[in-house]
């Protein structure tokens, strides 16, 4: 079945396709292949070879592609409660760590999206990605500051991204029925 897409859809689909391509190239060890080693020669070749799917630059690109772009384009048309429930289960099973000082309004996707889009994160190589979101309400007296942070093990990032990918695919499939 061919999916009908407009310019906004095209931005999401192309971004997701690039994210999937990055994950597939990594899973197939493309950067270690004879083809890559023999046929590509450019300044950053060795830097690229040292980068892995769980390196800071690649993780943030993937997080932006899967969290920020679709949320900006579709707002609340996607069933993000599915992803929020997935993340909550990971928190409850102590795989993801939610800071105990943080408020828990259940909008994990929204907070992660805000943190990623504003580059508010700490990357611990080989360990985890921790994202931070702050909501400051200056109009209220006293001023209310709410902080959100969540740490996700790098081994879990691709699992989370696959969940988002499936959500987007389901959205397109259901929309085009």
User: In this structure, what token pair is assigned to residue 35?
Assistant: 């083809």
| Phi, psi (rounded to 5 degrees) for 76 | -105, 20
Q: Which pLDDT score, from 0 to 100, does residue 160 have?
A: 94
Q: Measured on CA atoms in the order 20, 165, 120, 97, is the torsion positive or negative?
A: negative
The partner residues of 131 in beta bridges, in order of sequence, read: 121, 150
Which residue stretches of the chain have pLDDT < 50?
none
Nearest to 51 by CA among 61, 65, 39: 61
| pTM flag (> 0.75) | yes
């Amino acid at each position: 079945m061919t999916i009908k897409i407009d310019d906004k859809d095209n931005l999401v689909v192309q971004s997701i396709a690039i994210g999937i391509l990055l994950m597939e190239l990594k899973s197939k060890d493309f950067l270690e292949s004879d083809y890559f080693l023999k046929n590509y020669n450019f300044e950053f070749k060795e830097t690229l070879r040292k980068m892995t799917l769980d390196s800071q630059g690649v993780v943030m690109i993937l997080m932006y592609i899967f969290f920020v772009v679709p949320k900006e384009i579709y707002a609340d048309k996607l069933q993000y409660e599915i992803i929020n429930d997935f993340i909550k289960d990971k928190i409850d099973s102590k795989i993801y760590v939610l800071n105990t000082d943080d408020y828990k309004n259940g909008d994990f996707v929204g907070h992660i999206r805000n943190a990623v889009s504003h580059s508010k994160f700490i990357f611990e190589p080989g360990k985890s990605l921790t994202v931070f979101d702050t909501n400051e309400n200056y109009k209220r007296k006293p001023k209310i500051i709410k902080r959100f942070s969540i740490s996700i093990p790098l081994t879990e990032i691709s699992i989370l991204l696959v969940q988002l990918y499936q959500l987007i695919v389901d959205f397109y499939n259901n929309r085009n029925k």
